[in-house]
Every structure is written in C-alpha cells, then in structure tokens.
C-alpha cells in the first residue's frame, strides 16, 4: 500500500511536517529560470520574509539540501583553522554536529571541547561559561535550540549572552525552533541561526536556511576557505547580495517557501508561537494524565515525547495509529551512548497542525496503547479531555 491509495493521512511527525495545500499548489507552478528578473524578485521577497522570521537584519541564505547541509556549511566555513570548537550535545542532532567536526578535525587542525549532557536535559549553562573561560582558543560554539530527538529545549538566549562576551561565534541549530518558538537572532546575539524547510517552515524537505550576523560575516572574510566548495558560505553570501545563488537553486521550493513564510507572518509570529506552545503544553498534560513519563526534563514547544508503557512494541503501536487512524507519529532515535529507539514516541506541534489534528493523534495513541497493553488501563478518553481542559485553561 502506498500513500497514493491510502485515505486521509495526518503527519504529526517532527519533520517532514504537513504542508498546506496553498504551498503544495505553488510547487506545481511552471518552472522559471533562476537567472531572470522574475526569479530575482521572488528570491528577494523570500529573503525579506526570512529576515522577519529570523528577526534579523542580516542575510538569510537559502541553501539546497537538508538542514544538515546548511549546518555543516556554517560549521566548516566559520571555524578558524587550528582553533577549538565548543560543541554542546544532548541528543542525536547535537552529536551529529560533533561528528561533522570530527570529519574535518585532521584537515582543519581543530579540536573539540565537548559538553555532552544526558539525553533529555538542557545544555548546562554554567558548564558552558566554564568551558569558554578555560579555553580561549574556542572560535566557534555549536548548540541545539530544540533537540528534536529528545524533545528538549536549551536556553539559547543565555548561552548567546555568554558567547557574545568572547571572540567565539555561536552557531545555533534552530531547525525545529525557528517559526515554532521565540528566537530572535539579532536581539539575542545569535551569530548564526540555521533552520530547515520541512519543520515549522511548512515546506517539503530540500532547503536549509542560514542567517548570518555581523560578526559571522566578518569572520567569513578573515578566515581562508578550507576543504569545501558547495558549502563555502562565502560563495553564498556573495551571490545573495545579488538575489542569486551560486548553484542552480530548487526553484519550486523557493517559490513555495515564499508562500509558506507569508502564511506564517500573516498569522503573526507571536500567534504562531502561542499556538505551538499551547499544543505542546496540552499534549504533555495529556501524556501525564495517561500515566506516561515525559522524555524531557526541559521540554521543547515544537515536539513532545513520552516513554512507552512497559511491554508496548513501538512498531506495533505506530502501525496501529497509522493504519487505524491515519496518524503518523515518530519513534525514538539512537545516539552514541543513549538508545531511545523502541522506547519512546514523539508528536510534533510545528507548522500546519492545529488542536483538532492533535486531539485526533492523542485519541489514537490512547486507544491503541490500551489495545496493545494489558497493564495499561487509563480512564477512557482521559488524554483528549485533559488536552482540551489544558488548552482551554
């Protein structure tokens, strides 16, 4: 069975997320050439909308690829060869940014100062302050704002304050935060803010975005390019100033992102953040009412996760929720040390999802958990009732 023939499907996965029909419709428009005034006008409009979403006056680059492509580009283009990177991880994506610097370490002569917090915990700000003091050779700090794998939020605002006092640049993984929760690049002092298209940006996957502050732009000029070509942000910055990109861009995605950004901004960033937070808080309350343990000690607003009750099979539960209710949720992921595959499930609150969709998902989860486990016997309907009460409260 492919989705083509399946009936109504609801994507509650933390990326890709559901895409509004207006945005899908834009994807089907005839292709225009990228070296035209028509495309440049679209690109300029998108760039301005992205600046409003990032809350920055600096350039926000649109790079073909995944969020990882965009983040790798920032990591490698901005670090000073021979320096140190402070890499903060507490989940699969934080660990990925460490893996990326591992791959470049011999070539760039760089070392990592790693802070690995237990999965489900926010980055430890005191530890970061200490590390910045101990290692003045740190030229770049990487941190994840909303760690999707653990549904956990870190205090990027405070971390940015600390990093701003040093010569190091802060590169923030905002892949599941931009457009979902408050994050203000300029006001918070975030040197580099990265996101991807398929999360709160309400687009299919295929584009990454990199917002660059003044200190980051200066660093690009100071540092000699290293072993990379496509990912060299200098090329992208240079083209961006002319409403262009260095390599043929995914035209359809760029036009569609313009439509999606306009939808977000017409709702208003504050309203979107409030809706996302409301869905997250009410979902967490529903999980607790079901007697489930949350996976995060510092929950993100964009995704919520809970441990399965004893004895429930992840693949069976997700299949039942999908086949019986058309609801797609995510399981857990494995990291270097922590193994969350099979132990947790996650639902997204990002983008084109509302209270009705979330209610359907919670009802489906409750029903199928109860069907799969003899020992799991919640009061029938408690998940949705708690969700409604919390949302209304």
From the annotation, which residues make up the binding site for substrate?
346
**Residue 297 binds its own copies (CB under 8 A):** no
**Residue 24 binds its own copies (CB under 8 A):** yes
Q: How far is the CB of 288 from its own copies (least distance, A)?
A: 27
**Residue 249 binds its own copies (CB under 8 A):** yes
**Residue 313 binds its own copies (CB under 8 A):** no
Structure tokens at 74: 């920032």
Compute CA distances 11 → 82, 249, 288, 351, whole Å: 44, 27, 23, 11
Alpha carbon 6 to chain centroid, angstroms: 28
Structure tokens at 164: 């701003």
Candidate residues 31, 222, 337, 393; the one interacting with its own copies per rule CB under 8 A: 31
**Residue 293 binds its own copies (CB under 8 A):** no
Q: Give the list of residues 6+ apart from residue 227 with CB closer than 8 angstroms, or none.
A: 76, 104, 107, 108
CB 185 within 8 A of CB 209: no
Strand order in the sheet with 207-212: 60-64, 207-212, 192-196, 169-173, 138-144, 84-89, 111-116
- Output 120 or 249, the one with its CB closest to its own copies: 249
- Output 28 or 241, the one with its CB closest to its own copies: 28
Candidate residues 49, 86, 156, 253; the one interacting with its own copies per rule CB under 8 A: 253
Binding map of its own copies across residues 333-372, x = CB under 8 A, - = no contact? ----------------------------------------
Picking from 348, 343, 322, the residue whose alpha carbon sits closest to that of residue 333 is 343
Structure tokens at 312: 């429930």
**Residue 27 binds its own copies (CB under 8 A):** yes
**Residue 149 binds its own copies (CB under 8 A):** no
Provide Rg for the chain, Cα atoms: 21
Q: How far is the CB of 76 from its own copies (least distance, A)?
A: 8
Candidate residues 187, 214, 218, 247; the one interacting with its own copies per rule CB under 8 A: 247
Binding to its own copies (CB under 8 A) within 80-99 occurs at 99
- Output 32 or 371, the one with its CB closest to its own copies: 32
Q: How far apart are alpha carbons 307 and 237 in whole angstroms?
A: 43
- Output 269 or 360, the one with its CB closest to its own copies: 360
Binding to its own copies (CB under 8 A) within 185-244 occurs at 196, 198, 204-206, 225-232
Q: How far is the CB of 85 from its own copies (least distance, A)?
A: 14
Q: How far is the CB of 79 from its own copies (least distance, A)?
A: 12
Q: Give the list of residues 6+ apart from residue 162 with CB closer than 8 angstroms, or none.
A: 125, 128, 129, 132
Part in contact with its own copies (CB under 8 A); list of ranges 5-13, 294-302, 372-380, 383-391: 5-13
Candidate residues 62, 69, 83, 296; the one interacting with its own copies per rule CB under 8 A: 69
Q: How far is the CB of 43 from its own copies (least distance, A)?
A: 11
Part in contact with its own copies (CB under 8 A); list of ranges 1-9, 46-54, 132-140, 307-315: 1-9
Residues tagged in the binding site annotation: 346
Q: How far apart are alpha carbons 296 and 304 in whole angstroms?
A: 8
Structure tokens at 34: 């990228």
Candidate residues 2, 266, 315, 375; the one interacting with its own copies per rule CB under 8 A: 2
Candidate residues 58, 59, 67, 278; the one interacting with its own copies per rule CB under 8 A: 67
Candidate residues 3, 266, 315, 375; the one interacting with its own copies per rule CB under 8 A: 3
Q: How far is the CB of 96 from its own copies (least distance, A)?
A: 8
The residues of the shown chain that bind its own copies, judged by CB under 8 A, are 1-4, 6, 9, 11, 13, 15-19, 24-25, 27-34, 36-39, 41-42, 64-69, 72, 76, 99-100, 103-104, 106-108, 196, 198, 204-206, 225-232, 247-253, 328
């Amino acid at each position: 069975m492919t989705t083509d023939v399946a009936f109504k499907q609801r994507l509650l996965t933390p990326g890709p997320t559901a895409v509004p029909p207006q945005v899908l419709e834009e994807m089907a428009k005839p292709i225009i050439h990228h070296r035209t005034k028509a495309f440049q006008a679209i690109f300029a409009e998108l760039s301005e909308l992205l600046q409003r979403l990032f809350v920055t006056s600096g350039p926000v680059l649109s790079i073909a690829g995944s969020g990882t492509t965009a983040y790798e580009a920032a990591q490698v283009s901005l670090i000073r060869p021979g320096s140190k990177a402070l890499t903060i991880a507490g989940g699969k994506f934080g660990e990925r940014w460490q893996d990326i610097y591992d791959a470049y370490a011999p070539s760039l002569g760089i070392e990592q100062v790693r802070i690995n917090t237990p999965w489900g915990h926010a980055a430890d700000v005191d530890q970061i302050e200490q590390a910045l003091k101990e290692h003045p050779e740190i030229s770049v700090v990487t941190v994840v704002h909303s760690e999707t794998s653990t549904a956990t939020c870190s205090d990027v605002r405070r971390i940015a304050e600390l990093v701003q006092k040093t010569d190091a640049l802060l590169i923030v993984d905002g892949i599941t935060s931009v457009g979902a929760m408050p994050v203000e690049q300029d006001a918070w002092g975030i040197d580099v803010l990265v996101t991807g298209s398929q999360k709160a940006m309400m687009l299919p996957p295929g584009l990454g975005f990199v917002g660059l502050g003044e200190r980051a732009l200066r660093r690009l000029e100071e540092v000699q390019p290293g072993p990379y070509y496509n990912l060299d942000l200098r090329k992208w910055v240079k083209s961006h100033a002319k409403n262009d990109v260095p390599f043929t861009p995914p035209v359809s995605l760029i036009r569609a992102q313009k439509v999606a950004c306009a939808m977000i901004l017409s709702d208003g960033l504050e309203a979107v953040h409030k809706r996302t937070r409301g869905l997250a808080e009410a979902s967490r309350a529903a999980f607790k009412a079901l007697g489930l343990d949350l996976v995060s000690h510092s929950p993100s607003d964009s995704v919520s996760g809970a441990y399965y009750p004893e004895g429930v099979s992840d693949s069976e539960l997700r299949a039942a929720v999908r086949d019986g209710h058309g609801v797609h949720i995510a399981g857990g992921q494995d990291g270097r040390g922590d193994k969350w595959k099979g132990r947790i499930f996650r639902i997204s609150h990002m983008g084109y999802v509302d209270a009705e969709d979330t209610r359907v998902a919670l009802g489906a989860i409750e029903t199928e958990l109860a069907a799969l486990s003899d020992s799991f016997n919640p009061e029938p309907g408690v998940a949705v009732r708690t969700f409604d009460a919390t949302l209304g409260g």
